[in-house]
Structures are given as structure tokens and as C-alpha cells.
Amino acid sequence: MDRVLGVFAKEPQAGGVKTRLAATFGPKLAAQLYEAFLRDLLARLESLPMKLVLAYTPASGRMYFERWANGRFTIEEQTGADLGARMANFFQRQFERGADRVVLIGSDSPDLPTSRIEQAFVQLDRSDLVFGPSTDGGYYLVGMSRFIPGVFEGIDWSTERVFEQSMRRLGQLGLRALILESWYDVDDEKDVRYLAEQVEAARRAGHDLSVPHTEVVLRTCGIAAI
């Protein structure tokens, strides 16, 4: 069985990523935070037993992302007019290349447990679709066991209505999805502070969330991480 895990990422240019974080920490530090999230997430995914694809935007970012691929990720550009089209095109390409199961995640959750990803692939053994809702009303993960056109159409992206509208869209298509437990994206100051609390709590419990680059930038932001 050919399993594919995709990671959607933007080149961390100041002013082009994490605009809500930039309102608090400034564009440069917000971009540094996002880069740290990305580096930590990719490092944690490297050992997973599946094909790994890093799908990037903008087109000029290829050389940047090749620096962090470490020969473990296939690099490809995101294509499409909006996020929905880019995700649909990604899934279609992977299935056309022979994938049996495809899971796609974003890069806004540096401490996302890899067990959630493994769980998603297991769920796809008995469902065409799986979603992992995020606490901000979107979703951190979506997976398919076959390409299904139309799933990502008619959605108000980057709003708190994304998951709700996506479930409504599935109903219109006569589809149902299995739903994983929710997780959080790091989009604003409140989320950053929550992430720092999670890092500190894990350390006190004798665990390491394996987000070293993120911890460095959290300290730069003036938010403590042990």
C-alpha cells in the first residue's frame, strides 16, 4: 500500500506569513516563528514509514524548501487559484501517481502528535475521508482513500466556518467522514502562549515535544519555554 503524507507550507517571508502573529510580535519575528514551526515539524515527520511530500508556495520558494527536505521529502509546488483548489490538485496528483491513501496537514502545529497521522491512515482503511478539526474552526488534517472531486469547493477559507462548511459540503455530495480529535493551530498570541505552556508542562512531566527551534524563538518573543 502506497501511503502519502503531504505537508502544505509557505516560504516564511516577513509580512507574508502569520499576519495575526505579526500584529503582536512584528512581521520578522512572526516569520521566524513560522520557520521554526516548519523545521521542527519536518524533523519530527522524517522517520514516518510513508512517502513524504512537501508542497510549497510561492513558486519562488523551491530553493528555500530544498534546504530543509534532507532528501526525505519530495518537493513540489502548490497549484491552484485558492487553498481549496490547491488541496484538490494535490490529492488528485498523488492518486494519479499510484497512492492508495493520502493525508495532508498544514504547518501551523509544530507539536502535532505523529500518532494522529498514523490514526488518520488507519481510519482511511474503512472510510473515504478523514478530517482532524482544529480549535479555531478549521482543520489541521484531511485524508482521502480515493480522489473525490468537489470536497473543497464553496468554502470560506481562513475563517472560523471552514470545518462547519466542509461538513455541510460533504452532506451535499452524499459523503461522510470519520473525525479525529481536535488539535490547535498557532495563529495568534494566545495560541503561542498556549504552545509555550504545553512545552513547559511536557518538560515538567519528563517528556520532550521535540520542538527545539520553536523553543528558541519563543524565548526571543519573551515567552518562556524551559
104: domain CATH number is: 3.90.550.10
Per the domain annotation, does 200 fall within a domain? Answer: no
12 belongs to a structural domain: yes
pLDDT tens for 34-54 read 999 999 999 999 999 999 999
**Residue 211 belongs to some domain of the structure:** no
Is the whole-model pTM more than 0.85?
yes
Question: Residue 223 domain-assigned?
Answer: no
H or E stretch covering 52: strand 51-57
Residue with cell 518562556: 224
Q: CB atoms < 10 A from the CB of 16, how many?
A: 17
Split into its structural domains, the chain has a count of 1
Q: What is the pLDDT of residues 152-200, one digit of tens each?
A: 999 999 899 999 999 999 999 999 999 999 999 999 999 999 999 999 9
Helix 189-204 crosses helix 212-220 at what angle (to 10 degrees)?
Answer: 120
pLDDT digits (tens, 9 = 90+) for 62-120: 999 998 888 889 999 999 999 999 999 999 999 999 999 999 999 999 999 999 999 99
- Please report whether residue 208 resides in a domain: no
34 belongs to a structural domain: yes
